Structure 1
Amino acid sequence: MSKNPNQKLKLLYLYQILLQRTDENHKLTTDELRAALERCGITAERKSIYSDIEALQNFGLDVICQRGTGGGYYVASREFELPELKLLVDAIQCSRFITEKKSNELIGKIEHLTSDHEAHTLQRQVYVSERVKTLNEQIYYNIDALHAAISNNVQITFRYFNWVLNFSASPRIQKQYRRDGARYRVSPWALTWDNENYYLIAFDHDAGEIRHYRVDKMDSLVQTDLPREGKQLFDDRFDAAAYSRKVFGMFSGEEKTVKLKCLNRFIGVMLDRFGSSLRLFPADNEHFYLDVDVVVSPQFFSWVFSLEGDVRIVNPPEVCEAFEKQIHKFID
């Protein structure tokens, strides 16, 4: 028995078998555990199984022995419970910034965090090919590189592109680089997730202001040795979440305080959009006024327009006028 090199791995194989093949609804008897070990080239006495199980329990593995008919050993709890894994799978499926290929890879890894039997319930949730996904496989590594640059307090350079249709031969989607392919140089300060896309919030050195960039449209990202700039704009008071609430669809524009008049039943919509710290007061029995800080853009106007007149812009006058011009564009 001692001449078999696999024998030294018996405890590890037993640990793996219990994790992969058992859960509350699927148990293995001592004889079934011995048979599973034998298929791995390991022989085991019944008494040794008992002592090995005890060793695994002392190590921290939550192995339970259920007596009686249909009983056996099983792993009762794990680092992640099944509902938690389902939540992670759903989040990956709904994340447009993660490509279909990477989504399937991540979900496959998550399946290994539960038993083979419960992994099937995760597989039945996988409908990744039906979701809208980014085309840029590099985004997964861009996110990691951006976190590293922020941690290392250095600037980055990258190329930035849009997706365009090329009809020169057969129609196909391809990258078109902005600035004729010249590299952007910015100081990265925060990452935010808005409208199913990942954005970098950074200090743009050429513009001397805060700007944001879609991470899935960044290419050839490189860390530099230059220290970050713009710290004065990203002090302790800077709130990435608040910044995202102001910028509709992450489109740039001039920031203004806008007064909205809303039907009372739209309070939930306003909470979803602007958070719980709302500056509101009654207008009449059916309406309330709301002051919000927003970046005024066509996307903000489109959001107001989509609420079908139940939310109106009432101040400042220049924003009301710009909104009317935007509506005329739709009509014309």
Structure 2
Amino acid sequence: MVRKRLLAVINCLSTHSSKEQPLSLQEIKSQLMHEYDLELSDKMIRTELKFLQSSASLYKLETGTNNKNYKEKVYYLENTSFQIHELRYLMDAVSSARFISQSETNQLIYKLRGLTDEFTSKRLANELIHTEGKIGIMHFADNVQTLHEAIKAKKCVKFQYGRYNVDKEFILSREGDFYKVIPLGVVWYQEYYYLIAKEEGKEKIIQYRIDRMSSVMKTEDSWVPNPGFDLEKYVSQLFHMYSGEQSGIAMEFDNHLINVVIDRFGLDAKIKNLENGRFLLEVDGVVSMGLVRWLLTWGADAKALRPTKLVDMMKKEIGRYDGLYT
């Protein structure tokens, strides 16, 4: 009975009290009767409150003075699990993730709001507006977990891979044959999960969209990590998860794009002021269509200087515009 009494007091304070809305002893007493059908004396409740203030308690009970009656104490449990801004971050991440269906989004947000008191939960009622549609993917969570487990266990994985066609039909590549790869890491980039992997028998590293994978399975085949491969460095050199040839890259930008470049490459980027309203950026990166299309985003305000392969790719892509708007 004593344990049940203490748990009831903890649940009552966790649910109904907060720093902004603490509870008096009589309010705690009323809630315990209403919700838990526990008729406790003032002395019993004070005993539990005293324990919650002791060093033996894992909870942090705070006290204050009732604004309406300065002689009366009020109580609330400090939320040691999540602060309101932390819950907001988690809710917004769930809301913006396209691979989480709307129904699952609603369930997760409901659970996240249940991790705090009622007052704070109401402050979290305004949800993030997401601008892109969500896509429900069968077994997506299981696939992500399988990949993480395979990476940890240093096991290969196999899966089917596909894309939608213009009729919105999901068509499997290789006529449904399985890909077998060495999984190097999982990356979340621009609202999508990617698997960074090497296909069996090949050296080239490829990025696979996990929402385009199906029938993901961990195999019994083991693999040995390459000590010279740095996953974080590799990912930082990619543009929009496109694979390509790694090279030293030089690009020129108008000065108004300095914050765009810093957002993409960080404050440590090698930048040189050209004193003509433009600046030079030199980086090690992957030459790919992802980089070409990123540069074309900025029109004539961005220019590729080297390597020659990148310049040729830019010319070819720009040439495709000729006659497009006639």
- Report the TM-score, using the length of structure 2 for normalisation: 0.89
Q: CA deviation at 1:184?
A: 1.1
Counterpart secondary structure, 2:320:
helix
Q: Which residue of structure 2 lines up, in the alignment, with residue 23 of structure 1?
A: 18
User: How large is the Cα RMSD of the aligned pairs?
Assistant: 2.2
Which amino acid is 1:181 matched to?
G
Counterpart secondary structure, 2:98:
coil
Per-residue CA deviations over 1:65-112 (Å, capped at 9, x if unaligned) read: 222344622123432111221122122222223332332222122111
Q: Of 245, 249, 257, which aligns to 1:254?
A: 245
Q: Give yes or no for the alignment of 1:191 onto 2:186.
A: yes
Which amino acid is 1:44 matched to?
L
Q: Give yes or no for the alignment of 1:54 onto 2:55.
A: no
Unaligned residue ranges in structure 2 (runs of 5+): none
Give the distance between the partners of 1:134 and 1:291, measured in 2 at CA: 38
Q: CA deviation at 1:159?
A: 1.1
Q: CA deviation at 1:142?
A: 1.8
Q: CA deviation at 1:30?
A: 1.5
Contact 1:194-1:244 at 8 Å conserved across structures: no
Q: Cα distance 1:290–1:67, how it changes in 2: closer, same or farther (>3 A)?
A: closer
Q: Which residue of structure 1 lines up, in the alignment, with residue 66 of structure 2?
A: 68
Give the distance between the partners of 2:129 and 2:257, measured in 1 at CA: 33
Q: Which residue of structure 1 lines up, in the alignment, with residue 162 of structure 2?
A: 161
Q: Which residue of structure 2 lines up, in the alignment, with residue 92 of structure 1?
A: 94
Q: CA deviation at 1:150?
A: 1.1
**What is the identity percentage for the equivalent residue pairs of Structure 1 and Structure 2?**
26
Give the distance between the partners of 2:156 and 2:289, measured in 1 at CA: 31
Give the distance between the partners of 1:161 and 1:185, measured in 2 at CA: 14
Q: CA deviation at 1:9?
A: 1.4
Q: Which residue of structure 2 lines up, in the alignment, with residue 213 of structure 1?
A: 208
Q: Which residue of structure 1 lines up, in the alignment, with residue 218 of structure 2?
A: 223
Higher helix share: 1
Counterpart secondary structure, 1:50:
helix
Unaligned residue ranges in structure 1 (runs of 5+): 167-172
Give the distance between the partners of 2:119 and 2:67, measured in 1 at CA: 21
Counterpart secondary structure, 1:185:
strand
- Report the TM-score, using the length of structure 1 for normalisation: 0.87
Which amino acid is 1:64 matched to?
E
Aligned residues: 316
Per-residue CA deviations over 1:177-215 (Å, capped at 9, x if unaligned) read: 111111111111111121221111112114332111111
Q: Cα distance 1:135–1:86, how it changes in 2: closer, same or farther (>3 A)?
A: same
Give the distance between the partners of 1:181 and 1:254, measured in 2 at CA: 28
Which amino acid is 1:61 matched to?
Y
Q: Give yes or no for the alignment of 1:293 onto 2:294.
A: no
Q: CA deviation at 1:236?
A: 5.1
Q: Which residue of structure 2 lines up, in the alignment, with residue 170 of structure 1?
A: none
